[in-house]
Amino acid sequence: MDNWLNRVRVVLCRPEGALNVGAVCRAMKSMGLRELYLVSPLPFDNDEVFKMAIHARDIYENAVVTDSLEEALGDTALSAGITRRRGAKRKWFSILPEELAEKSAALESGITALVFGNERTGLDDNELNLCNIACHIPTSPEFPSLNLSHAVQIVTSVFYRKSIGEHTGAYNPITREELDNLVQVIHDSLDAMNYFKAADRFHTDRYF
């Protein structure tokens, strides 16, 4: 089955920090994303990248380097600039990561690009204008500044959650009647085992 997450690309515009790029690789892989594009990156010390990427170094090794954001977005169907700003030709709407994940998951084909800006300056106007849509991560107005890899981690985490559904395990609510019956069976069984006399406090105090 087509896993929609396989069609989600992370694009870093003008990244500067090797440690950040490594941390982005780890953040991506932990959330099931694999495709990284680096637009006009500085030359990186690979050892620094790998130090933070740990077992996600393959993401860096397979990263595509482009000279321009146009190139990195050329084959995409949906591109979102992750930013607190709206740009000069302002985006009138900036959606939430959850809303972006909804849109991306609804695409039956085509690549979604998550576009992140430089660590210090973020996305510039031109970069944001090249994106279809703006997306922002809600933060405290007192200190809205997120580390690049942390921003990637939040958005990719939301995407991963969307891909696995609302609950991580199968969850089938049962009726009150079924629940009461279940409790009765458990209680009777424990009673038959003499549990209520035998159980010591050590083994039960963390039960509830």
100: contact with its own copies by CB under 8 A: no
3: contact with its own copies by CB under 8 A: no
Non-local (6+) Cβ contacts of 45 within 8 A are 18
DSSP line for 57-84: HHHHHTPEEESSHHHHHTTEEEEEEE-S
23: contact with its own copies by CB under 8 A: yes
The correct pick among 6, 42, 45, 54 for binding its own copies (CB under 8 A) is 54
The correct pick among 121, 145, 184, 189 for binding its own copies (CB under 8 A) is 145
129: contact with its own copies by CB under 8 A: yes
Smallest gap, in angstroms, from Cβ of residue 115 to its own copies? 15
Looking at residues 62 to 91 of the shown chain, list those that interact with its own copies (rule: CB under 8 A). Answer: 89
Name the one residue in this structure whose structure tokens are 């790029």. Answer: 21
190: contact with its own copies by CB under 8 A: no
The correct pick among 168, 172, 175, 194 for binding its own copies (CB under 8 A) is 168
Nearest to 95 by CA among 78, 81, 109: 81
The correct pick among 27, 72, 78, 80 for binding its own copies (CB under 8 A) is 27
Whether 56 contacts 29, CB under 8 Å = yes
9: contact with its own copies by CB under 8 A: no
User: What six digits make up the tokens of 199?
Assistant: 């159980």
Burial readout 104-115 (b: 16 or more C-beta within 10 A, e: otherwise)? bbeeeeebbbbb
Non-local (6+) Cβ contacts of 130 within 8 A are 69, 70, 73, 79, 81
Q: Which is nearer to its own copies, 13 or 128 (CB)?
A: 128
User: What six digits make up the tokens of 145?
Assistant: 């500044």
Nearest to 43 by CA among 72, 16, 12: 16
Which of these ranges, 36-44, 117-125, 156-164, 172-180, lies near its own copies under the rule CB under 8 A?
156-164
The residue ranges that bind its own copies (CB under 8 A) are: 23, 26-27, 29-32, 52, 54-56, 89, 96, 129, 136-140, 142-147, 149-150, 153-154, 157, 160-161, 164, 167-168, 203, 206
